[in-house]
Each structure stands twice: as C-alpha cells, then as structure tokens.
C-alpha cells in the first residue's frame, strides 16, 4: 500500500471511530486477529479487544476531534503523530466525569497488510491525560 492510500485508510479510521462514533467500523480497518501493543490487562486480543477499548473511550469522552500532524510510512509500517481533544463526560478509569476539555498527544504505529491493520503500537500520553483530569498532580503542584 502506498503512502497516500495508507494515510487515507488511517484518516478514514479516525473519522469513523472518533467523529462518527462507529465502533463496528473497526472490522473494516483491522484484521480480526490484530495484535495490540501494549494490551491492557483483561482486554481480549484482536479486533474484539480494540472494540472494547474504543467503547471505553467513546463512553468516557464526547466532542472528540483529532489533528493529524504527521504521517510517515516505511514499507508496511506507518507512524502518526496526532492530537486528540475531547470533553470528559463519563467515568474513565474510575475517575468520575469532570466536564473538562482535554488535549492529549498520541503516537501510534501500525503495520498494514492487504489493506488492513494487523498490528498496532500505541503511545498515548496517559500521564498528561490523567493530570488534566485531576487524577495526578501537575508538575507545578508536585514541585
């Protein structure tokens, strides 16, 4: 898959999931046995686990938007740098809804084969997110 088609696939995936809130669309973009790194404890492998994690996000956050800052491809691997913004409107990791608007960086990497994502490495800035939700002190508060 060339870089243009890979970027189009990735953008469509983000749009369908986050803007249209279509969890079932993950079947279109991911192989059923896609491998996720890291896989949170208790989450099943494959697209079913990805759907579970997506459901948690969509139930916890509303008004989700993304900005794709960069997109790189090397053979079957792609890497993106995105920023997600959203409003915390549901319980997330035991943190009750705060109504706060959050902004979080994400640096996912994907391996694509035959037009589907077969492996994902995701590095969402959870530390920043938890600080924005008030679950952890900010750097200034900790100093």
Tens-level pLDDT at each residue, the chain (143 residues): 888 899 999 999 999 999 999 999 999 999 999 999 988 889 999 999 999 999 999 999 999 999 999 999 999 999 999 999 999 999 999 999 999 999 999 999 999 999 999 999 999 999 999 999 999 987 777 76
> What is the domain partition of the chain in residue ranges?
3-135
Long-range contacts of 120-128 (CB under 8 A, 24+ apart): 120/30, 120/34, 120/35, 120/36, 120/37, 120/50, 121/37, 122/36, 122/37, 122/38, 128/104
Contact indicator for 90, 64 with CB cutoff of 8 Å: no
Q: Which CATH number is associated with domain 3-135?
A: 3.10.450.50
pTM: 0.89
């Amino acid at each position: 898959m060339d870089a243009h088609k890979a970027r189009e696939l990735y953008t469509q995936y983000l749009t369908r999931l986050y803007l249209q809130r279509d969890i079932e669309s993950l079947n279109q973009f991911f192989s059923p046995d896609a491998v996720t790194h890291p896989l949170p404890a208790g989450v099943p492998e494959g697209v079913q686990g990805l759907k579970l994690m997506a459901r948690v996000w969509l139930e916890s956050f509303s008004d989700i938007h993304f900005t794709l800052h960069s997109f790189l491809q090397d053979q079957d691997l792609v890497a993106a740098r995105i920023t997600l913004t959203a409003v915390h409107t549901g319980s997330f990791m035991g943190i009750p809804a705060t109504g706060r608007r959050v902004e979080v960086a994400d640096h996912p990497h994907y391996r694509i084969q035959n037009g589907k994502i077969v492996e994902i490495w995701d590095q969402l800035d959870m530390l920043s997110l938890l600080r924005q939700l008030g679950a952890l002190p900010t750097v200034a508060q900790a100093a």
